[in-house]
């Protein structure tokens, strides 16, 4: 008898403590014990500050001089069907821990590997600014290939029973969207913005192939997008036109 594959979720928590953001993730995990739900606390791992040496981008991520727990996180993301990127809102932005993780894996935006994987952005705050946090998470990790199907901004201030119950309902609703996306697994259709980014990165990789050979090797055999998919003619032409315009600006400023 064939058994169904168990859904795997990786939840990257950028909080420095097991507080409000962790509490929401823990609640989601406990809401369905049939799901392999792995909460990864960045605060409990060894993440070194990025040196901005560009080795990961130019030569490949395997050439990064830093040796820390980066690959433990990436392995969890690679094995998961979806990833929840969760950060408390500090000063209307993501936490320093989440920013450190993004800097350590910035090459993913150059050579996105996560198409076909789903994602959810989650932020908690006591006042306001959570929308800024989730917007940043969505924009960055979309460029890494993830398809965001839900976004969750929760205000945790009074911690009353009413507030807790309200947040639980909203959180479970957005989490449900993520699970349904995994189960239906509809084909991803690239947005105009993603097509523009693809063409810009491909163009830059050709301009910089002597130094940035990792990007060049990644893009050289790709035609219209990161994977084979039929792109509407007009949409494709518009994306290439916008990208070429931006590349010309870069050349003019050199």
* Cβ–Cβ < 8 Å for 87, 137: yes
Strands of 82-88's sheet in order across: 36-41, 8-13, 82-88, 118-125, 147-155
Residue by residue, pLDDT tens for the chain (254 residues) are 445 789 999 999 999 999 999 999 999 999 999 999 999 999 999 999 999 999 999 999 999 999 999 999 999 999 999 999 999 999 999 999 999 999 999 999 999 999 999 999 999 999 889 999 999 999 999 999 999 999 999 998 888 899 999 999 999 999 999 999 999 988 888 999 999 999 999 999 999 999 999 999 999 999 999 999 999 999 999 999 999 999 998 888 76
Question: 92 Cβ partners below 8 Å, 6+ apart?
Answer: 128, 129, 132, 133
> What is the set of domains in the chain, with CATH numbers?
8-184 (3.40.50.360), 192-252 (no CATH)
Structure tokens at 31: 């809401």
- Crossing angle of helices 20-31/161-184, nearest 10°? 60
Report the residue count for the chain.
254
C-beta atoms surrounding 154 within 10 Å: 20
d(CA 55, CA 63) in angstroms, rounded, equals 6
């Amino acid at each position: 008898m064939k058994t169904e594959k168990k859904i795997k979720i990786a939840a990257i928590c950028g909080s420095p403590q097991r507080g409000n953001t962790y509490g929401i993730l823990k609640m989601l995990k406990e809401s369905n014990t049939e799901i392999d739900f792995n909460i990864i606390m960045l605060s409990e791992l060894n993440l070194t500050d990025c040196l901005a040496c560009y080795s990961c981008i130019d030569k490949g991520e395997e050439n990064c001089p830093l040796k820390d727990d980066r690959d433990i996180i990436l392995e969890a993301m690679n094995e998961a069907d979806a990833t929840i990127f969760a950060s408390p809102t500090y000063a209307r932005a993501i936490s320093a821990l989440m920013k450190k993780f993004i800097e350590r894996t910035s090459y993913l935006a150059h050579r996105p590997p996560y198409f076909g994987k789903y994602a959810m952005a989650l932020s908690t705050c006591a006042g306001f600014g959570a929308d800024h946090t989730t917007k940043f998470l969505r924009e960055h990790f979309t460029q890494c290939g993830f398809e965001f199907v839900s976004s969750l901004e929760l205000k945790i201030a009074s911690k009353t029973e009413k507030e807790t119950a309200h947040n639980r309902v909203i959180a479970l609703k957005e989490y449900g969207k993520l699970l349904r996306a995994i189960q239906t697994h509809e084909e991803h259709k690239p947005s105009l913005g993603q097509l523009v980014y693809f063409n810009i990165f491909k163009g830059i990789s050709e301009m910089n192939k002597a130094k940035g050979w990792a990007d060049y090797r990644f893009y050289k055999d790709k035609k219209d997008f990161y994977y084979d998919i039929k792109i509407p003619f007009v949409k494709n032409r518009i994306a290439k036109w916008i990208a070429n315009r931006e590349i010309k600006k870069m050349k003019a400023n050199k």
